[in-house]
Amino acid sequence: MGDVAFHTATTVDEALALLGDGSDARVVAGGSDLIVQARHGKSLPGTVIAIHRVDALRTLTSSGDLVVGALTSHATLCADAGVRSNWTAIADASALVGSHATRNVGTLGGNVMNASPAMETGGPLIVLGASVTLRSAAGDREVAIEELWTGPGKTSANPGEICVAVTVPAQPAHTGSAYVRLEYRRAMEIAIVGASACVTLDDAGNVTAAKVALTALAPTIIRSPAAEAAIIGTDGNDEALAAVTAGASADAKPISDLRANEDYRRAMAGVIAKRAVAVAAQRARGEEFPIPATPVFMKGSGQ
Amino acid sequence: MKHAATLTVNGMAYPVELEGDTTLVRAIRDDIGLTGTKEGCDDCECGACMVMIDGRPVNSCTYLALQAVGSDVTTVEGLADGETLSNLQSAFLDQGGVQCGFCTPGMLVSAHALLRENADPTEEEVRLALGGNLCRCTGYTKIASAVMQAAKASV
Ligand SMILES: Cc1cc2nc3c(=O)[nH]c(=O)nc-3n(C[C@H](O)[C@H](O)[C@H](O)COP(=O)(O)OP(=O)(O)OC[C@H]3O[C@@H](n4cnc5c(N)ncnc54)[C@H](O)[C@@H]3O)c2cc1C
Ligand code: FES
Ligand code: FES
């Protein structure tokens, strides 16, 4: 690595002042993306500004809208009772990140700003209609989460901006959400394919609104309009779920890499999206489903 | 660029001079001289470098040393009471949870952190808590048994 200046900020204002226009400085929260990338030859900037002591960003309010300070860790998110009951897909996602150690240091702000198309919380934040608050010397601006990501590792934030919070609106009654990841192992895994769903039912149990997002299936996390259209207006029966499978596979734009080839990813996009929609609908009906909503391969295997 | 700082490791304050990009594992091993903590992959994958920061497990190979200023760092050397091994350490010996030993410091730290939060875990919870620690020798069964033995001893 190189000659790196290091500062620890204790307020957002201090961090913003140190960051300047962001041309040769970067904030580090948990460091679980930034420092790992630095070990892969992506050198650190001339100045690293540690923000993990900015306690004002370590907040979580889950009455009314969900407002999550950027420094809130995955460990905190997936343990929060409000998140688990009302924005369950986020709890599913945070519970799957890395290992205990990764969830302790990794923050929601870091996950969102790192903009990996395979990142866990992205799909849930899209289907739940989240936005991020970006702060600069000029003040705050609110950006819809789908407008934040512009490509792998790229955001529409300016280099001099700091993400201070992620806001997720309160959801209507009879709404459930889920994030399901296709994984080869239970811990320390990167999504091969992921799918998120948020489903709202009317009193008769018919789907009045649905959003489906696909993870690791395009350069950014994308919505699947075909999967959404397939489930809205139905009661979530098997025929509708089969149409969700076909719709999600059609909307996926996967790549081949050493983890999975394109055809496999496309096929699994449908399967995983169907499971996400089915679990979201179950939760919308008030039925319990374990968090994270992923087959727990541990069961039975470790005895 | 050297930064003068103080790191608190196992309750002792160590004055150090660190580069901005020095990782915590390098500071603990090279600057402080505690070599129990291992550098395996140096890529946040294997868990050999696991330490506790303010009581919670963290991979020290991908945490900047200067980020730990102001926190309490616990390494494997901090688990024993002088020459007296902790229940957990003794259980690793009893159960044969150690072969080459390279993963052991990280396993001990992760397991210690688990037992602090959950004194009576199921074996599944133990295996999940050790999900970020790789072992090339034991096949994990004896490690899991050791953690279960230590949990039973303290409940
Ligand atoms: C072993 C391992 C396993 C992992 N597994 C998963 C996984 O399963 N799923 C997953 O999604 N991720 C995973 N990750 C990635 C990472 O842990 C998460 O993305 C985490 O949420 C990143 O948070 P951080 O605070 O550590 O980010 P940092 O590394 O501190 O920051 C990441 C990037 O965001 C920027 N940034 C951070 N905070 C802010 C802010 N407030 N405002 C502006 N910019 C900011 C930084 O400058 C940097 O560019 C894993 C990482 C490791 C090392
Ligand atoms: S050396 Fe840190 S995880 Fe392998
Ligand atoms: S005992 Fe050799 S790696 Fe675990």
Per-residue pLDDT 10s for chain A (303 aa) are 468 999 999 999 999 999 999 999 999 999 999 998 987 777 888 999 999 999 999 999 999 999 999 999 999 999 999 999 999 999 999 999 999 999 999 999 999 999 999 999 999 999 999 999 999 999 999 999 999 999 999 999 999 999 999 999 999 999 999 999 998 887 888 888 999 999 999 999 999 999 999 999 989 999 999 999 999 999 999 999 999 999 999 999 998 888 889 999 999 999 999 999 999 999 999 999 999 987 543 343 332
**What CATH number does the domain containing B41 carry?**
3.10.20.30
B68 and B9, same structural domain? yes
Does residue A236 have its Cβ closer than 6 Å to ligand 1? no
B48 and B30, same structural domain? yes
B101 and B70, same structural domain? no
Report the alpha-carbon distance of residue A224 to residue A230 in Å, rounded. 10
B96 and B36, same structural domain? no
Whose Cα sits closest to atom 3 in ligand 2? B44
What pLDDT, in 10s, does the model give residues A227-254?
999 999 999 999 999 999 999 999 999 9
Q: Is B16 helix (H, G, I), strand (E, B) or coil?
A: strand
**What CATH number does the domain containing B105 carry?**
1.10.150.120
Q: Tell me, what's the pLDDT at A3?
A: 87
> What domain range includes position B130?
87-154
Report the alpha-carbon distance of residue A277 to residue A224 in Å, rounded. 12
Domain boundaries, chain A: 1-53, 175-284
Q: Tell me, what's the pLDDT at A300?
A: 37
Report the alpha-carbon distance of residue A75 to residue A60 in Å, rounded. 12
Domain count, chain B: 2
Q: Tell me, what's the pLDDT at A188?
A: 82
Interface test with A, best of B18, B37, B59 (most A CBs within 10 A): B59
Residue where one domain finishes, among candidates B78, B108, B142: B78
Q: Is B133 helix (H, G, I), strand (E, B) or coil?
A: coil
Q: Tell me, what's the pLDDT at A2?
A: 61
pLDDT tens, per residue, chain B with 155 residues = 899 999 999 999 999 999 999 999 999 999 999 999 999 999 999 999 999 999 999 999 999 999 999 999 999 999 999 999 999 999 999 999 999 999 999 999 999 999 999 999 999 999 999 999 999 999 999 999 999 999 998 76
Q: Any chain A CB within 8 A of the CB of B118?
A: no
B42 and B14, same structural domain? yes
Q: Tell me, what's the pLDDT at A295?
A: 58
Q: Is B30 helix (H, G, I), strand (E, B) or coil?
A: helix
Question: How would CATH label the architecture of A175-284?
Answer: 2-Layer Sandwich (3.30)
B63 and B10, same structural domain? yes
- Give A1-53's CATH code, choosing from 3.30.2420.10, 1.10.3720.10, 1.10.260.40, 3.30.43.10: 3.30.43.10
* Inter-chain CB proximity A101 and B45 less than 8 Å: no
* Inter-chain CB proximity A105 and B23 less than 8 Å: no
Strands A149-151 and B56-59: unpaired
Q: Tell me, what's the pLDDT at A86?
A: 97
B96 and B57, same structural domain? no
Residue where one domain finishes, among candidates B11, B46, B78: B78
Q: How remote is the CA of residue A298 from the centroid of ligand 2, in Å? A: 23
C-alpha distance from B55 to closest chain A C-alpha (Å): 11
B55 and B24, same structural domain? yes
Q: How remote is the CA of residue B12 from the centroid of ligand 3, in Å? A: 29
